[in-house]
Every structure is written in C-alpha cells, then in structure tokens.
Structure 1
C-alpha cells in the first residue's frame, strides 16, 4: 500500500521577489489539448484531431495587501510577469520530500481584492493567463510549454519541434 505525496509547504517568487509567508495558495494551469471532431468518409464515427493546446491560466492568492504586485497590473507585455512557484511534496511513508517547481509567465488579467474587514482574514487573488509554463520535479523538467515560441516539450520530447522546423526553414 502506498501513500500519496501531499504538498507540505510552498512559496512563490514574483519577478525574483520571494513571497515566503505571504503566498496562501496557487492553482496551476489545467493542461488540455485543443481538439476537433473529424469523421471522414468510410469512418464509423468521429475521432478527435489534435489542434494544438488550449489556453492556460494560473492563480495566486496572497495573504494580504502587496503593493508591488498591484503595480504589475496592466503591463502591455503578454509575458510581463514571471512567477516561480516552489512546493515541497512528501508522502507519510518516510520517503524524502520532493521538490516541485512551476515557472509561469503571463500578466495579471484580474486582481480580486476580496473583502476587507478589520480583524478578519484578508486575501488577494491574482489571475494569470499564461504564455509560458514549465514544471520541474526534483530538478528534472517534466513539461515545458512556450505558446509564443512554439515549444511543447513533455519528458524531454518536443512534440511540436517537427512542425516548427517546417515553419522556420
């Protein structure tokens, strides 16, 4: 019988600044292929055709007011904010903790300042549509997606390299 690795603790770095003790939670992007149904002559039913990737979005929640993050709102660059999320995952079976790092690039499209009431918890939520995503586990790159550069690498294999070679030669 096994134990699942659970997030034991985390931090976030936004444009190089560490928010240890301030970041409350983060939500990584959902990874999804964009597909379209195709049923050609002679086929018994439709099959899903790979049409690239769906858009990606991440969210960060901070424990309170962070003026430096508010100042990043409205940047004109689609990849104007760089975030490094670091998590320590561990199973309760005595095994070593596992380092999971997520590197994301995008811009804050929405900042939800929530409710503020003296004596109550305050939380600000930042929504980041992504142009870049990379997930590294114990120093090994698992996934890298760069929507602008046409990179779609999983387990060291760039699944879009052949197409990019055709486009750039």
Structure 2
C-alpha cells in the first residue's frame, strides 16, 4: 500500500538570509493558467485556449512569527524580481520512512504586508504577499517545473514548453 509524503520540516531563506525558526507557514504559488473559451462552426462545445498564466499565478504568501526589521526593509525593493526566496522542505514517505527534499525558489517583491494585531500576551505574526516573476520547483534533485515570466521560460519535467516560441520571436 502506498502512503503520502508529508512535510515534516522546512526552512525559508530571503536573499540568502536564513530564517530558521521564524517562518511558521507559507502558501506556495497556486499555479493558474489564463484561458479563453473558443467555439467555432462545427464544434459542439467550447475548448479552453491556453493564453499563458493568470496574473498572480506564481504569487505566494509567507507568515513570519513576529516582527523582523531585515524583512520589513525589503518592502522598498524597486525591481520586479529584486528579492530571491527559497523554501527548503523535507517530506517523509510514510510507507518507507525516506526523507525527500523539496525546494521552491522564487524571485519577486513584496506587494502586501499585514502586521496583524498587537496585543500583550498574544502570539503575533506578520503576513507578506510576494508577487513573483520567477518560480522553480525541485523534488529530490529533479527539476519539476520552472517559470520565468521575464525571460519567456516555461519548463515542465525537463521539457521547455516555450523553446520554439522564443526562437520564433528571435529570442
């Protein structure tokens, strides 16, 4: 019988700075495609034409336990890909006990900061929304997916989906 791999431990890095013990939760990018329904004569129904990625398709949310001046200073990053993040997770196969590494790398900038509430004696957290231009998912050393919006790169399972389109555009 197969059992799922479950996240056991993880760490976050912002521009290479180690945030071990400071990030209790992240929401990885929810990959969404932009489509438009198309139906023409002779078609009994519409098909979804792939038009690339939705706005926000590779955004992510990060919760920081408390306040950190270093991360707050990154609010002022001026370029669309000015900050690099890295999620390094360890998933455990519940059937075999094997520990499997998973890494998510992104580049982008913060677009929202929610400092939550401040109340003496209560746990506090700051929530950040990161608008990304780059996303890469690696599992057990295998590159599963890479999306680079600025450089017209989209790879899935080692296949460069946009290679011919870049060549056709002279890139």
User: Deviation string for 1:82-133 (max 9, x for gaps)?
Assistant: 1000110112223311100000111000011101112211111110011000
Which residue, 63, 69, 72 being the options, matches 1:70?
Answer: 72
Runs of 4+ in 1 over 2 A off after TM superposition: 91-95
Q: 1:65 aligns to what SS in structure 2?
A: coil
Could you tell me how far 1:139 is from its partner in structure 2?
Answer: 1.1
Q: Return 75-84 or 91-100, whichever deviates more.
A: 91-100
Match of 1:42 in 2: 42
Match of 1:10 in 2: 10
Q: 1:162 aligns to what SS in structure 2?
A: helix
Q: Does 1:125 align with 2:120?
A: no
Match of 2:140 in 1: 138
Structure 2: segments with no counterpart, 5+ residues:
none
Preserved contact between residue 74 and residue 109 of structure 1 (Cα < 8 Å): no
Q: Return 113-122 or 6-15, whichever deviates more.
A: 113-122
Could you tell me how far 1:138 is from its partner in structure 2?
Answer: 1.1
Preserved contact between residue 33 and residue 50 of structure 1 (Cα < 8 Å): yes
TM-score scaled to structure 2, two decimals?
A: 0.95
Q: Return 100-109 or 36-45, whichever deviates more.
A: 36-45
CA distance in 1: counterparts of 2:107 and 2:12, whole angstroms: 13
TM-score scaled to structure 1, two decimals?
A: 0.96
Q: 1:73 aligns to what SS in structure 2?
A: helix
User: Deviation string for 1:133-165 (max 9, x for gaps)?
Assistant: 000111111000000100000000011111111
The correspondence of residues 1-169 of structure 1 with structure 2, limited to 5 A, is 1-55=1-55, 56-168=58-170
Preserved contact between residue 151 and residue 160 of structure 1 (Cα < 8 Å): yes
Preserved contact between residue 93 and residue 100 of structure 2 (Cα < 8 Å): no
Could you tell me how far 1:74 is from its partner in structure 2?
Answer: 3.0
CA distance in 2: counterparts of 1:75 and 1:21, whole angstroms: 24
Preserved contact between residue 92 and residue 100 of structure 2 (Cα < 8 Å): yes
Q: 1:20 aligns to what SS in structure 2?
A: coil
